[in-house]
Amino acid sequence: MLQVLAAGYVSCMNGIQIPTILPNVVHTAVLLIKIAVPIGLVIFGMMDLGKAVMASKEDEIKKAQQLFIKRIIAAVLVFFVVSIVQLTFSVLNSSDTEDELKAGGINNCIDCFLNGSKKCSAK
């Protein structure tokens, strides 16, 4: 089983060999964060506002609305920070020369982790 996991390697930072499973796991985690944050926001917001409406108390409804707004702000920040980091390293990686891409520079390595091993220079 270990041979299956470590079947391919990715060259990062001029000679360091990393198994392709590691960038794929990190990419999957980043993708799950981008999907789970908005879904969690909707679910928890519906639950909080539903509880407050069922209680029929004006102050609880206002507290639930304030909490929902804070969660929206946090979700937007998380989503856009991840997207901005991905965009930044994609732009930096596209500005690398062909030799730097083949050598597996730091920009290529970070882009590989953020976008999966399909973007990597595999060895």
* pLDDT at residue number 102: 55
What is the rounded distance in angstroms from the CA atom of residue 95 to the CA atom of residue 107? 10
Question: What one-letter code names the amino acid at 32?
Answer: L
- Residues 111/93, Cβ–Cβ less than 8 Å: yes
What's the CA gap between 101 and 117, in Å, rounded? 14
From first to last of its 123 residues, the chain has per-residue pLDDT tens of: 344 444 677 777 667 777 878 888 888 888 888 888 888 888 988 898 888 888 888 888 898 889 989 988 988 888 888 888 878 877 776 665 555 555 556 766 777 777 776 656 555
Collapse the DSSP code of 29 into the 3-class scheme (helix H, G, I; strand E, B; otherwise coil) and give the result: helix
What is the predicted pLDDT for the residue at 1?
Answer: 38
Looking at residue 104, its pLDDT comes to 56
Q: Which two tokens stand for residue 6?
A: 């470590």
Amino acid at residue number 90: S
Alpha-carbon span 15 to 11, nearest angstrom = 6
Which tokens is 22 given? 């590691």
pTM attached to this predicted model: 0.66
pLDDT for 4 equals: 44
State the chain's maximal CA–CA distance in angstroms: 66
> Considering only CA atoms, which of 117, 119, 118, 94 is closest in space to residue 26?
117
Residue 3 has a pLDDT of 43
* pLDDT, position 115: 72
pLDDT at residue 92 in the model:
73
